[in-house]
Structure formats: C-alpha cells, structure tokens
Amino acid sequence: MNENTASPANPAGPLTTAVLRRIEVQRQHLGLTTEELARRAGMSPHYLQLLTEAGADFDPASLLRIATALDMTYAELMEGRAEPPPGQQSASRHPALMKLTARECWDRIGTHGIGRIALPVHPGPAVFPVNYMVDRRTVLYRTDPRGAAAVEDSIEVSFQVDHIDEHHRDGWSVLITGTAEHVTDPETIRHLADQPGAQPWAGGVRSLWIRVTPAHITGRQIHTV
C-alpha cells in the first residue's frame, strides 16, 4: 500500500493557502483545466470549486482523490515536496571555479548514471532526463522510438551531467556536444543490454539505443577555497 492508497489520518478542517497554491501550481504544471482536474478526481467541477475555496473545510478522502489526479501523494499535497531542487542553500563565501580536463570529465561521468540530453526539436530545443551508459568514450541511452527523447541519425545534440554537494557547497558539471546515431547492430545491442545501467528508471518499452559520439567535452567544478 502506498501513500496515495492509504487512508489519510488528517482530520477535516480548513485548507491552508499553501495547500491551495500547491493544487493550482500543479494543475497548471500538468496543463489541466479545472474541469479536467475535476474529471480526473471523479467529482463535479462545482464540488471541486467548493473544496478549494479559501477557508473551506475539506474531506480528507476528497483531497486524496485530488492528490492522485495531480500525480502527487497526499503528504506532498498537504505538506509540500520532501526533496526540493538542489541549490537551496546560499553559495559559499569564497567559491573557486576551475576547468576540468577531458580525462577529469570522463572520470566524473563514470560508467553510467542519469544525465540530460538536449535535442533540436520543434518548436524549440528541449532537454530530457535519461539513463546513460559510457562505452569507449561515447555516451549511450535508450528510449522509445516514438518517444520525446528519440532523434534521427546524424543530428547534433548536447549531453550534460552534473553533481551538487549541498553540504560542502560545491559541485561539477560536464557538457558533451556531438552527433547522435542509432545503434542497430544486434550483437552490440545484446552487449549493451547486459551492462550496468542498461535498464531505464522510467521503465516501459525502450528499444531504440542512441549513441552520442563527442566532438567536444568540457567541464567545470566549483569548490570552496
């Protein structure tokens, strides 16, 4: 049983301004109209409006349905996200920015992990998180042939990986620019499928392997002096 199926323990009471704002922000983030959100939550738009009026009392079961419709847990809706984006703390008083060598860049990327692929798609460049692997100084990821991260052969792309240490207030970033190519050789695909990091976190059918062959690799590191 997960948080969205468990019965909320919070008693009924007035919704706070913060909860109402989270509902509205997430609704807009998902591109939903009020009517679409109500339909997802299995309630009438009028009832949804009554629930989300400032100061209105709420039924915890109804709020659970709204949370599920917004792709949130009940705790996230009521209390906010448990893990905010990195970089919430103030910067170091004496930061130093240094360039990384190509070898240092590859050392930080490692053998596999999660990075971001930047693609020249319509109506403008788009960036998608992907599980990646490193093979002979190239970067590979797999995706749905009809998915957003799929790209045609011989397209110029960018790939970026970074790491932030909140406690020490330092971090690094590596950027690769190069050409994306489809991997079609069956033997190569079988070899890649057996390597660590081959299974995407997002799951699903992702039969298209794409290899990014670098033309340039650059990196920077911020540390405290």
Percent of the chain with pLDDT over 70: 88
Query: What 8-state DSSP symbol labels residue 198?
Result: -
Q: Nearest CA to 134 among 158, 114, 152, 119?
A: 114
Domains of the chain: 13-79 (1.10.260.40), 95-224 (2.30.110.10)
| 123 or 180: which leads in pLDDT | 180
Q: What was the pLDDT predicted at 169? A: 78
Query: pTM for the whole thing?
Result: 0.62
**How many whole angstroms separate alpha carbon 57 and alpha carbon 16?**
10
pLDDT in tens, 37-85: 999 999 999 988 888 776 566 678 888 999 999 998 888 888 887 666 6
* pLDDT at residue 81, as a whole number: 72
pLDDT of residue 7: 41
* pLDDT (average), residues 196-217: 91
pLDDT at 140 over 50: yes
Give ∠ CA 135-139-171 in degrees, rounded to 5: 115
User: Could you give the CA distance from residue 178 to residue 193 in angstroms, rounded to a whole number?
Assistant: 23
